[in-house]
Amino acid sequence: MQGSERSTYKHRLPVRLSHWLNVICFFILLGSGLNIFNAHPKLYWGQFSHFETPVFWLHANYGEQRELIGLMQIAGKDFNTTGVLGVSNNMKGKPTAVGFPGWSTIPSGRNLADARLWHFFFAWIFVVNGLLFLFWTWRSKHYSRDLNPSTADWRGIFKSIWEHMRFKHPEGEAAARYNILQKLAYVSVIYIFLPGLVLLGLCMSPLMGSVLGWLLDLVGGRQSARTLHFIFAWLMVAFIAIHVFMVLITGPINQIRSMITGRYKIHEPVVSDTVPVQEKIHVQE
């Protein structure tokens, strides 16, 4: 059995533009956010900072040989994270106490003022881009047509999970459509994770307290909002890691091309028109 390929239009222009702008904004927001976090690498729960009892803390201590040891503390328990978190080499190769390493932050060195400027500038681009995308989604019926799980999708959810666990993915026409797990992931990101990330970030501003006081009360205080903002950010990192992994194992060239040009190549089997003699007789009967 031979196969043939045809091209279909998978991603429309607003989806592609929003996607790549989000990629740029998110990674700048993540890097600048880590730099801001490094200025006070502790997280708390509640309204106020209880410096002696953080729920999360990246710090460093001296070991028996007077060497710096990086530590990540979660709920009072320390984990050695030397070389990754707590302690990493600076530009001169010298071990330095720092929450997240310089290569992961924007700017690369400790600079709270510049990091805040980067973070807030790209945060507003991120927000405007998201609002424009939501408006387009509503006007174009992108959600109801492409993202809203159908009854058939829900019936096949366990089959889809099992196929993903075996790294088996749809082929042919089905490959050009979102499956149930993709729909649930994208809907969660678009309508839960990203709005939550933005709103919790705004909650940390005292100026927004009068507007988002209800959300602060809901999560338990400004420090809780900061902690949840941090968690939401890493949930997004986890989503992106899984997303990139799936792109790599399902044909990266085809997937990336479709997000740049909108065109997606579908491989379809070609069934021969020749029918065996026995089958012809059966059909005639």
Residues 111, 129, single domain; the answer is yes
Strand order in the sheet with 42-43: 42-43, 56-62, 68-74, 77-80
Which domain-ending residue is among 58, 83, 99? 99
Judge if 59 and 130 occupy the same domain: no
| 8: in domain | yes
Residue 115's pLDDT is: 95
- Helix (H) or strand (E) holding 77, with range, is strand 77-80
Same domain (yes/no): 30, 132: yes
Domain containing residue 17: CATH number: 1.20.950.20
pLDDT per position as a tens digit, 2-37: 557 777 878 889 999 999 999 999 999 999 999 999
Residue 279, in any domain of the structure: no
Both tokens of 81, joined, read 């994270």
Residue 126 has pLDDT above 90, yes or no: yes
Asked if 35 and 170 sit in the same domain, the reply is yes
At residue 270, the pLDDT reads: 59
Residue 24 shares a structural domain with residue 163: yes
Given a cut of 90, whether residue 265 has pLDDT beyond it is no
Tell me whether residue 212 is in a domain: yes
Residues 159 and 56 in one domain: no
Q: How far apart are CA 173 and CA 258, in angstroms?
A: 14
**How do residues 51-72 score in pLDDT, each as one tens digit?**
788 999 999 988 878 888 999 9
- The residue type of 263 is R
H/E stretch holding 33: helix 13-38
pLDDT at position 279? 42
Q: Which residue is listed with tokens 């904004």?
A: 25
| Residue 281 counted as domain residue | no
Closest CA to 244 of 4, 19, 18: 19
Mean pLDDT (the chain) is: 85
Parent domain of 87: 42-99
Pair (63, 95) in one structural domain: yes
Q: Which residues pair with 264 in a beta bridge?
A: 8
- Which of 99, 125, 148 is the endpoint of a domain? 99
pLDDT of residue 272: 53
User: Residue 144 falls within a domain, yes or no?
Assistant: yes
Are residues 253 and 122 located together in one domain of the fold? yes
The pLDDT assigned to 281 comes to 37
**pLDDT band (50, 70, 90) for residue 269:** low
Residue 275 has pLDDT above 70, yes or no: no
Domain boundary among 50, 70, 99: 99
50 and 35 in a common domain: no
Tell whether the torsion through CA atoms of 92, 93, 98 and 101 is positive or negative.
Answer: positive
Statement: residue 190 has pLDDT above 80: yes
Q: What is the pLDDT of residue 285?
A: 34
**Does residue 132 fall inside a structural domain?**
yes
Q: What is the pLDDT of residue 128?
A: 96
Task: Answer yes or no: do 35 and 58 share one domain.
Answer: no
170 against 133, higher pLDDT:
133
Residue 75 banded pLDDT, cuts 50, 70, 90: confident
Eight-class DSSP state of 149 = P
Q: Band of the pLDDT at 148, cuts 50, 70, 90?
A: confident
Q: Is 214 left (phi over 0), alpha (psi -120 to 50) or beta?
A: alpha
Q: How many domains does the chain have?
A: 2
Q: Are 51 and 25 in the same domain? A: no
**CA atoms within a 13 Å half-sphere pointing along the CA-CB vector of 228:** 26
Q: How confident is the model over 225-258, as pLDDT tens digits? A: 999 999 999 999 999 999 999 889 888 898 899 9
Answer yes or no: do 119 and 76 share one domain.
no
